[in-house]
Chain A
């Protein structure tokens, strides 16, 4: 293990997160089994009061989960000089077999944490704990994922030794590679650009429609998810080459470096934020008709839709600016 401040911070905080989420999940199980709002029993009143503590703990855990995703990538990028062959985070994550699985779980948990925070906020607007069981059911689904992330990240850091020879991003994300990332990088740029702009435009339009007319929430949720997937593919396929002005370089991590003005951070923050807020609108649709949420959830969804639209436009703006204001032209 390398004793770097960021690694120690991530390592310790993930262990702490694991413990806190286990504690919260144990109450989640009790709530699933014993919650009865019609009862005035000692146990029910204790559970009602304890939900405030659990909710606060989880808010901090999941807020850190959101931040730790970026800290993990930053750490991997920052440490690439220690490993022979690594040019950016791509190489650092390839040092052992746990780096990429941990990253993928962090992406999944970023989404899950965002959605849980949205559901928790909506639940807190109701006076009768309207989403309590659903919220804790989601927690019980997320808990194994967070624990798996803690395990993988811990293994990754523990097996991280300096001077290991690793691969560079040029090899890992080469269009000639017969891997999933290689196949995505090899996708023809023009059809990908078309698909990219179509999905972003459709998502922004759905967001504006929901904001103005309170209609199409499920569509917005679905499009936000589709936008996320297509955008990740687009970054590998044509967006990153535009930033590097090099048709063969498809690395999604080098854009996080200083040479590219750290543009990767706002780019990914806008993409992930847009996905979470858009999917959050869809997730809350079934709860619009709950009596105690009827007034608050639609206005909360409107705010989420607005955030989703703003972040989608910001994401599109960053990409389009680079495509328009560079001499580099990528053609099929």
Chain B
């Protein structure tokens, strides 16, 4: 259970260009469900996911992961939580060019110190699961958009996180690839993962894998559908 209590996020506080991205959100996220944050550009979806995923800190309010309070955690503890609990799929995928698909997938697990052979095997298993095993040795810049999407998913799963956070994952994909991604996310839900998606793509929001739709507008929750 992820619990947000009166969370606010202000950028450039006290300056002329001060901007309130999140304005006092209270929210409970149900585990092992797919929750979609839906809303227009600038509604605070990405900021909210960054706060939940411990990539940014709120200006006020508290975020609880199970019983653990996250917002007061010193950075060295937050890194551990981020690594073990959350897997990220970014809008632009943010894969590292110049290295192979396999190395990209293994990258988030390097700080854990797992022996390379077992880590490599796990990464290969994930790539096989996502039907991209044959591209393991290929450099990132040589693969297609659809393949990059699956590499991004594999990378998000390498540390076996409980929560997958996907920010506009279908923004640069055609319908076929978008549906493929939705299917992958559905499989992750079946495996017991909590999936959080920020999207305004109807194909994602109206998908049958989605359990909970939260409508965001102007940094607030405008409505919820279960």
Contact = CB atoms under 8 A, between A and B. Distances in A.
Interface of A: 37, 40-42, 45, 48-49, 52, 124, 127-129
B59 A42 contact: yes
B74 A40 contact: no
Given A128-B72, A129-B72, A40 B57 contact: no
A40 B77 contact: no
B5 A40 contact: yes
Interface in B16-66: 57-62
A35 to B, nearest CB: 11
Contact of B74 (A37, A42, A45, A52): A52
A41 B60 CA distance: 5
Contacts of B72: 37, 45, 48, 128-129
Contacts of B74: 52, 124, 127, 129
A52 B72 CA distance: 12
Contacts of B77: 127
A235 to B, nearest CB: 42
A40 B70 CA distance: 11
Contacts of A128: 69, 72
Given A37-B72, A124-B74, A45 B57 contact: yes
Interface string B53-96: 00001111110000001011111010000000000000000000
B6 interface: yes
Contacts of A52: 74-75
Contacts of A45: 57-60, 71-72
26 contacts: A37-B72, A40-B5, A40-B6, A40-B58, A40-B60, A40-B62, A40-B71, A41-B60, A42-B8, A42-B59, A45-B57, A45-B58, A45-B59, A45-B60, A45-B71, A45-B72, A48-B72, A49-B57, A52-B74, A127-B73, A127-B74, A127-B77, A128-B69, A128-B72, A129-B72, A129-B74
Contacts, number: 31
Nearest to B77: A127
Interface of B: 5-8, 57-62, 69, 71-75, 77
A40 B61 contact: yes
Nearest to B81: A127
A293 to B, nearest CB: 13
B112 to A, nearest CB: 19
A322 B69 CA distance: 58
A41 B62 CA distance: 9
Contacts of A42: 8, 59-60
A42 B72 CA distance: 12
Contacts of B75: 52
Nearest to B78: A127
Nearest to B75: A52
Q: Which of A40, A41, A45, A129 has the most CB of B within 10 A?
A: A40
A42 B9 CA distance: 10
A45 B5 CA distance: 14
Contacts of B59: 42, 45
B209 to A, nearest CB: 33
Nearest to A41: B60
A160 to B, nearest CB: 45
A85 to B, nearest CB: 55
Nearest to B68: A127
Contacts of B62: 40
Contacts of A40: 5-7, 58, 60-62, 71
A42 B75 CA distance: 18
Contacts of B73: 127
Contacts of A129: 72, 74
Nearest to B8: A42
Contacts of B60: 40-42, 45
Shortest beta-carbon contacts, A-B, top 4: A40-B62, A42-B60, A40-B61, A127-B77
Contacts of B58: 40, 45
Nearest to A48: B72
A47 to B, nearest CB: 10
Contacts of A41: 60
B113 to A, nearest CB: 19
B15 to A, nearest CB: 15
Nearest to A43: B60
Contacts of A49: 57
Contacts of A48: 72
A42 B20 CA distance: 13
B14 to A, nearest CB: 11
